[in-house]
Amino acid sequence: MTWLVTGGAGYIGSHVVRALLDAGMRPVVLDDLSTGHESFVPEDVPFVRGSLLNGGLLIDAMREYDVTGVIHVAGFKYAGVSVTEPLHTYEQNVTGTARLLAAMESHGVDRIVFSSSAAVYGTPDVDLVTEDTPKNPQSPYGESKLIGEWLLRDQGVARGLRHTSLRYFNVVGSGDPMLYDSSPHNLLPLVFTALLEGRTPRINGNDYPTPDGTNVRDYIHVADLALSHAVAARRLDAGEPLEPAYNLGSGDGSSVGEIMRAVADVTGIPFTPEIAPRRAGDPARIVAAGTLAARDLDWQMRHSLVDMVETQWIATRGASRPSE
């Protein structure tokens, strides 16, 4: 049995591929390399370069590699940019998912793990987000992820698709020094880039009602997240029941100020971050409960905050060095 990992050449997807290999499962990667890196795909893992929008390519890949399940990680993941590029966001995340599901139906593939997002909740008015917290996405990106969950739900009703969606918050760290986060919008890549270029990192707001005045967010290690994807896939293979959606969260969170202090300690570069104005709509605290995922997906916070920063710093430093 083979699991197709869409977006498997990206930061998160490449970790999922390695988690599947560690679990003794057979992955195949599909990625258009718009943000991924072919070097992230292990040499012994089949790689199909192409877009989710190419339904024929999807069916051919499923047929050639005898695909029996899909972990759908591919997508346009920039929430802020999605506000100014809504059509592109919907094409990649909604049309792409619909074509993937159509290809799965055509080939008889009946199980999928979907990479969803905490963005489906928008700005909740609770300190601890559970799976039942009302959904109120506030960007086309968040809306597209919620629609993706609806597509899985409706295909489950209509065609018996077995599925689960994993919602996660701030993914950091690295499980392999060769795998790094190259996003131009995520916190740690921005901070590390600033330090490597001799600039002072900037954060948004230090006057929130939190212990140190900075936002509190849920930071989870990418390798922990990837492991839960593999567990979900194994449970679907075994026909075991899963919830429609799971939060992958720490239950307590860390402040941006704590992240900055950990960065200074790990890198050995002392700095005091520049303080920019608050971003509109940024809540003081968003933290997710991971209780259901701990029960069903072996979800644990296996890495400390320092581990998260250190592993990502090592991978980033490796990526920043010129090749020999």
Catalytic residues: 141
Please give the single-letter amino acid code of residue 75: G
CB 2 within 8 A of CB 26: yes
CA 260 to chain centre: 22
Pull the structure tokens for residue 23.
């679990």
Calpha distance 71→92 (Å, rounded): 16
Q: Which residue has the tokens 């593999």?
A: 230
Helices (H), the chain: 11-22, 55-64, 79-82, 86-90, 96-107, 140-159, 187-196, 222-237, 256-267, 291-296, 305-320
Pull the structure tokens for residue 297.
């997906």
CB 194 within 8 A of CB 202: yes
User: How many Cβ atoms from other residues are within 10 Å of residue 50's Cβ?
Assistant: 15
CB 308 within 8 A of CB 173: yes
Give the 3-state secondary structure percentages of the chain, helix then strand then coil, rounded to 5.
40, 20, 40
Angle at 117 between CA 9 and CA 196, to 5 degrees: 55
